[in-house]
Amino acid sequence: MSEQQPVVRVWTCAVRTQDREEYVDYVERTGMEAYRSTPGNLDAWILTRDLGDGHTEITTVSRWESMAAVIAFAGDDPERAVYYPEDDRYLVERDDRVRHYLQRA
């Protein structure tokens, strides 16, 4: 990936809909806080989508100045998802890999 364009990092999981608000609050205190406090992070969001089957899809989207900034957050394997201690309590589905995209104007 080019170091000249911002990089967008996307990760998706699913939780029980009854746990949605509690998990979103947890992600705000862990992953979003870690994203936003890492130099080179431009911004970050949490998206939710009710799947209608008792589960809610959660997607985190973060924008970074460069792939080097992503590596500073995620480590040497930036496509490996970063988990926090209580994720297992909530997650019913998870992507272990993260997708990265170059942001185009």
Give the right CATH number for 7-102 from 3.30.2040.10, 2.50.20.10, 3.30.70.100, 2.30.130.60. Answer: 3.30.70.100
Output the pLDDT for position 90: 98
pLDDT in tens, 14-63: 999 999 999 999 999 999 999 999 999 999 999 999 999 999 999 999 99
pLDDT in tens, 68-84: 999 999 999 999 999 99
Q: Is the pTM of the predicted complex or chain greater than 0.75?
A: yes
Output the pLDDT for position 22: 98
Residue 76 contacts by C-beta under 8 Å, 6 or more apart in sequence?
none
**Residue ranges of domains in the chain:** 7-102
pLDDT in tens, 94-104: 999 999 999 98
